[in-house]
Amino acid sequence: MGERTRADRDAVTVEIGYALFSAAFAAAVVFGVIAGPKLMFAMPYAVERGLLAAGAAAAAVVFPVRVVSVLWRFSRAPGRPGRGSGPVEPGGPGKPGQPSQPGRTRPDS
């Protein structure tokens, strides 16, 4: 495995932060959807406890699933350095690249 550039390390750090933040948000939404009726309606104690337990269990499942899915997708992104994709052509595949001399706009200049 080759050395990572600072940009690669920064991209990984940002992606981990995004994964954790979005997972926490998704888990909170799932918990709120399941346990929310407890706050809105008067229910027997057993039902309220059941809603809280179900909401906590669902949130505990959603959080790691979201983190893993975000990081998995990031690691499989095309064009990421170090994944065997090679350099990306400036003009894209099948298009002429950037001229060799700065300031020139046409490849035959």
- pLDDT tens for residues 75-84? 887 766 555 4
Gyration radius of the chain's alpha carbons: 24
How far does the chain reach from its first CA to its final CA, in angstroms? 40
CB 8 within 8 A of CB 82: yes
pLDDT band of residue 86 (cuts 50, 70, 90) is very low
Confidence of residue 102 (pLDDT cuts 50, 70, 90): low
The span from the CA of 106 to the CA of 109, in Å, is: 5
> Which one has a higher pLDDT value, 80 or 91?
80
Contact 59, 36 (CB under 8 A): no
> What mean pLDDT, rounded, does the chain reach?
82
- Asked if residues 23 and 66 have their Cβ atoms less than 8 Å apart, the reply is yes
Taking Cα atoms as reference points, which of 38, 72, 68 lies closest to residue 55?
A: 38
